Structure 1
């Protein structure tokens, strides 16, 4: 009765919905309830509320590792799936790390002219940074 639908057959809105549910399911294992927003609020696609009643994360859902000038200073976390892995990282912390390493500056054309930088495949330094922000699938570990 149920037939899996290949991700590649989904349109962009369907992919965003799919990714939201995958990330929200992973976060649920860690005590977060995710509230989808109908339009971006302060740069966020959804809010992740922890059961502690004090932790609230503004999350922008992306398809890859990315930086964007429009998120600077907004306390935004970026969530993305990479294969079976799920990552949720603080945008400005990645930005500071990348700038400090010299991997990004105003000489980078895409950053200078478009205010964005993204990597379809995270580079080695990206995986090193992301290792701290990987959300482990508890069910796969059990």
Structure 2
């Protein structure tokens, strides 16, 4: 099982984010080809579409620039779904885009974001998965 650990973790994370999105009225679609989009969220009630790239931590990458991609990532047990280009703007303000990782490698991630970064991400924080699961269980019991 350990050789598949990262794949299993990715499926669990994707299902968590999809469950959180379903609670917000979205439906999820998996692209046939992964060209930088892991799944697509669509809410029929208002036509909102989010092309989502799933990450294990706060991450920016040049290949996602100007593509209207949203990044889903956890911080301390909470999940965030945030526009990549907004994340890059925050990174520019923090000086991250002046690092060798960004300038030479074209990517940057924060395994433990600062309090300032977490505060800037707050508007994109999802409801806790525990609250969504508890609500679903309560609804199931009442039917």
The interval holding the TM-score normalised by the smaller chain is 0.7 to 0.9
Following TM superposition, the consecutive aligned residue runs of length 4 or more in structure 1 with deviations greater than 3 angstroms are none
Select 1:14's aligned residue among 8, 11, 20: 8
Whole-angstrom CA distance in 1 between matches of 2:24 and 2:3: 30
Correspondence list, 1:51-70, <5 A: 51-70=44-63
2:110 counterpart residue number: 119
- What is the TM-score of this pair, normalised by structure 1? 0.83
- What is the TM-score of this pair, normalised by structure 2? 0.82
Whole-angstrom CA distance in 1 between matches of 2:57 and 2:6: 14
Runs of 5+ consecutive residues of structure 1 not aligned to the other structure: 1-7
Runs of 5+ consecutive residues of structure 2 not aligned to the other structure: 136-143
1:5 counterpart residue number: none
Whole-angstrom CA distance in 1 between matches of 2:131 and 2:3: 26
Number of positions where the alignment pairs a residue of Structure 1 with one of Structure 2: 133
Deviations 1:47-104 (A, max 9, x none): 00113251110000000001100000000000012343110000001111221x2422
Distance 1:138 1:21, change over 3 A: closer
Whole-angstrom CA distance in 1 between matches of 2:49 and 2:8: 25
Structure that is richer in helix per residue: 2
Structure that is richer in strand per residue: 1
Q: CA RMSD in A?
A: 2.2
Whole-angstrom CA distance in 2 between matches of 1:102 and 1:18: 31
Q: Verify the 8 A CA contact 1:45 1:60 in the aligned structure 2.
A: yes
Q: Verify the 8 A CA contact 2:72 2:80 in the aligned structure 1.
A: yes
2:29 counterpart residue number: 35
Whole-angstrom CA distance in 1 between matches of 2:65 and 2:94: 18
